[in-house]
Amino acid sequence: MYVCSCKSVTDTDIRNAVNSGVRTMRQLARETGCSSNCGRCAVTAAEVLDEATGKLSIVRQARHPDQA
């Protein structure tokens, strides 16, 4: 799915960037251009980035350990 329509960045592009070492939104913007234009994609991009780096699952486990 397209996350950033301004720069044509997909969720797969973000996951590939994570596999290449990207860990922050600043790094993601530098590597892909995502969230560097209008910024409407920033929340979704951050969610995909967090999921890809495992941060989201850690937060979910902390909040809902019975669902982990």
pTM over 0.95: no
Per residue in 9-29, pLDDT tens? 999 999 999 999 999 999 999
pLDDT at 64 over 70: no
CATH class of this structure's domain 2-67: mainly alpha
pLDDT of residue 55: 81
Confidence grade of residue 48 (pLDDT, cut at 50, 70, 90): very high
**Which sequence spans correspond to the domains of the chain?**
2-67
Gap between the Cα atoms of 1 and 21, Å rounded: 21
pLDDT of residue 53: 94
- Averaged pLDDT, 22-51: 96
